[in-house]
Amino acid sequence: MSIDWETQANEKYADASQYAQKVLDLINKSNDAITDEDASWITQETVDCFRDFVNPGFLDYRKTVTKDKQFAAVEWSDEGESFKDVNGKKYIDCLGGFGIYNVGHRNPKVVQAVENQMHRQALHSQDLLDPLRAFLAKLLAQITPGDLQYSFFTNSGTESVECGLKLAKLYSDRSTILAATKAFHGKSLGSLTATAKGVFRKPFMPLVSGFRHVAYGDIEMMEKTMEACHLVGEDVAAVLLEPIQGEGGVIVPPDDYLPKVRALCDKYGALLILDEVQTGMGRTGKMFCCEHYGVAPDIICLAKALGGGIVPAGAVVASEKVFKNFFPNPFIHTTTFGGNPLACAAAIATINVLIDEHLPERAAEMGAYMLQGLRDAAKGHEDKVMEIRGKGLMIGIEFQEDQIGYDFSKKLFDKGVLVAGTLVNAKTIRIEPPLTIKKEDIDKVIATVAEALK
Ligand SMILES: *Cc1c(COP(=O)(O)O)cnc(C)c1O
């Protein structure tokens, strides 16, 4: 029997087109026009498609899905410091997309810049000189510490780290990279090598050679390792660190750690790469976290909040002595979309908003207020809460057990506050709201936390 391939293909495409049109109609509807029927279709269809076409694993881990997977909170819109699910329930965002919403959700200035740029030119020709890339690079040189000057643009954190590692390798004939335990630098093969978590790394061995991990915050171990590397002829090319570890559970190192690391790098001729993908753009109460410690790296990696929560954007900024190895052949490291006009417009507006609205200062002030409030709320619950720590609006609550953290974040979610914490990883819950969060909202969150702990 012959199969009529053409008819089959036509039917397939007709179905696909109809389905795409149905979704486009929903996208193009205003929020008020979404009916209850739309909302329940969106919810059920999302769950079904996650199960059949995305990854059913997510349905087991997300606190937003009920045990029988019949109900799930499906996000639909966002604004300011909160977002709404498709049924119109509002959530205060204390997760901040793990640090992408520093200037708030859909900050009007960022939206306007991106919109205007989109209507002018969205992506670049790849051949002419694109002006926004140039302007953003100058801005980054102005606001980053020390003599950081030249920028390479990326689309994500992991790409920024990859570029930082390549710059370090080009700088000298050395290839040893020191990273830290509990580090997170991304999941592409190079950055994954620096990332410290065994479950993410082990299945993908062998990774990039030349990496070693030392205990984070332990300057003596760092020194001994650098010395040993020198003695055996495998001198350290670069030390790669987060100034505060994010994924590791908001781990703040001793105050003298980064300055001492900087001094060790100088002593042994190694570069210092700081991964400020999460800590940068005002999150910890300074524009860049390393400024708390008076330390300037040779290479800084940025992403997450750089695009203002509107467009994915990343950057690597390096000093001239490091970056100049990219000069002779600028094609030695490239990316098609990195530094595109939409991303640059978003980043330029984001920097403008951060400075004009004093958001780093605000993060310091509101962060201190929130940290104290949370600590007060946790008093008497030492059986559940081990420690609350942080800097600026990067706060971690460490629980005695994973399960307590998961129950806690689920309870908060039911009460309209989103914090990190999934079934797999909830021992330390991160609180990283937009830096624009209002004091009333912080008070509401603290009250909800107090209630949930009871
Ligand atoms: C999130 C993160 C990354 C990875 O960024 P992606 O955009 O997810 O690739 C790298 N480093 C740090 C410190 C991060 O927090």
Q: Which tens digit of pLDDT belongs to each residue from 216-240?
A: 999 999 999 999 999 999 999 999 9
Q: Looking at the predicted structure, is the pLDDT value of residue 69 above 80?
A: no
Tell me if 70 is assigned to some domain. no
Asked if 343 and 382 sit in the same domain, the reply is no
Tell me if 92 is assigned to some domain. no
Q: Of 9, 37, 65, which residue sits at a domain end?
A: 65
Q: Of 334, 356, 378, which residue sits at a domain end?
A: 356
Quickly state the pLDDT bin for 66 (edges 50, 70, 90): confident
Tell me if 338 is assigned to some domain. yes
Quickly state the pLDDT bin for 26 (edges 50, 70, 90): very high
The amino acid occupying position 301 is: C
What average pLDDT does the segment 90-111 reach?
96
One-character DSSP codes across 321-375: HHHGGGSS-GGGS--SSTT-HHHHHHHHHHHHHHHHTTHHHHHHHHHHHHHHHHH
- What was the pLDDT predicted at 67? 67
pLDDT in tens, 335-388: 999 999 999 999 999 999 999 999 999 999 999 999 999 999 999 999 999 999
Q: Candidates 165, 182, 185: which one to mutate for ligand 1, based on the most atoms within 8 Å of Cβ? A: 185
Question: Ligand 1 in contact with 246 (CB < 6 A)?
Answer: yes
- What was the pLDDT predicted at 61? 79
Ligand 1 centre to CA of 434 (Å) is 17
Ligand 1 centre to CA of 355 (Å) is 23
Quickly state the pLDDT bin for 1 (edges 50, 70, 90): low
What average pLDDT does the segment 98-118 reach?
97
The ligand 1 atom nearest the CA atom of 186: 4
- What was the pLDDT predicted at 70? 63
Q: Looking at the predicted structure, is the pLDDT value of residue 293 above 70?
A: yes
Asked if 139 and 250 sit in the same domain, the reply is yes
Ligand 1 centre to CA of 188 (Å) is 10
Asked if 365 and 440 sit in the same domain, the reply is yes
Asked if 228 and 374 sit in the same domain, the reply is no
Tell me if 366 is assigned to some domain. yes
Asked if 53 and 140 sit in the same domain, the reply is no
Tell me if 379 is assigned to some domain. yes
The amino acid occupying position 154 is: T
Tell me if 94 is assigned to some domain. no
Asked if 318 and 407 sit in the same domain, the reply is no
Q: Candidates 182, 184, 188: which one to mutate for ligand 1, based on the most atoms within 8 Å of Cβ? A: 184
Q: The CATH number of the domain where 182 resides is what?
A: 3.40.640.10
Asked if 226 and 342 sit in the same domain, the reply is yes
Question: Ligand 1 in contact with 160 (CB < 6 A)?
Answer: no
pTM for the predicted model, two decimal places: 0.96
Question: Ligand 1 in contact with 157 (CB < 6 A)?
Answer: yes
The ligand 1 atom nearest the CA atom of 191: 10
Asked if 316 and 426 sit in the same domain, the reply is no
Quickly state the pLDDT bin for 286 (edges 50, 70, 90): very high
The ligand 1 atom nearest the CA atom of 247: 15
Beta bridge partners of 152: 316
- What was the pLDDT predicted at 2? 64
pLDDT over 70, % of the chain: 98
Average pLDDT of the chain, as a whole number: 95
Asked if 232 and 260 sit in the same domain, the reply is yes
Ligand 1 centre to CA of 407 (Å) is 26
Q: The CATH number of the domain where 392 resides is what?
A: 3.90.1150.10
- Nearest CA owner, ligand 1 atom 15: 278
pLDDT in tens, 39-50: 999 999 999 999
Q: Which two tokens stand for residue 227?
A: 């010395």
Asked if 263 and 123 sit in the same domain, the reply is yes
φ/ψ of 319, rounded to 5, equals -70, 160
Alpha helices (H) along 28-156: 36-49, 57-61, 96-99, 108-120, 131-143
- Selection from 214, 116, 99 nearest residue 157 by Cα: 99
Ligand 1 centre to CA of 195 (Å) is 10
Domain, as residue range, for 271: 108-356
Preceding peptide of 254 cis, ω within 30°: no
Tell me if 293 is assigned to some domain. yes
For the chain, the domain total comes to 3
The ligand 1 atom nearest the CA atom of 155: 7
Asked if 192 and 303 sit in the same domain, the reply is yes
Question: Ligand 1 in contact with 85 (CB < 6 A)?
Answer: no
Q: Of 311, 336, 356, which residue sits at a domain end?
A: 356
Tell me if 440 is assigned to some domain. yes
Asked if 181 and 251 sit in the same domain, the reply is yes
H or E stretch covering 273: strand 271-275
Ligand 1 centre to CA of 233 (Å) is 32
Question: Ligand 1 in contact with 339 (CB < 6 A)?
Answer: no
Distance CA 19, CA 39 (A): 16
The ligand 1 atom nearest the CA atom of 158: 9
Question: Ligand 1 in contact with 162 (CB < 6 A)?
Answer: no
- Selection from 435, 369, 449 nearest residue 97 by Cα: 435
**Cβ-based neighbours of 69, under 8 Å, separated by 6 or more:** 47, 51, 59
- What was the pLDDT predicted at 397? 96
Q: Which two tokens stand for residue 166?
A: 């390549």
Question: Ligand 1 in contact with 303 (CB < 6 A)?
Answer: yes
Low-confidence winner among 69-83, 193-207, 323-337 (lowest mean pLDDT): 69-83
pLDDT in tens, 417-454: 999 877 667 899 999 999 999 999 999 999 999 999 98
Q: Contact, 155 vs 311, CB < 8 A?
A: no
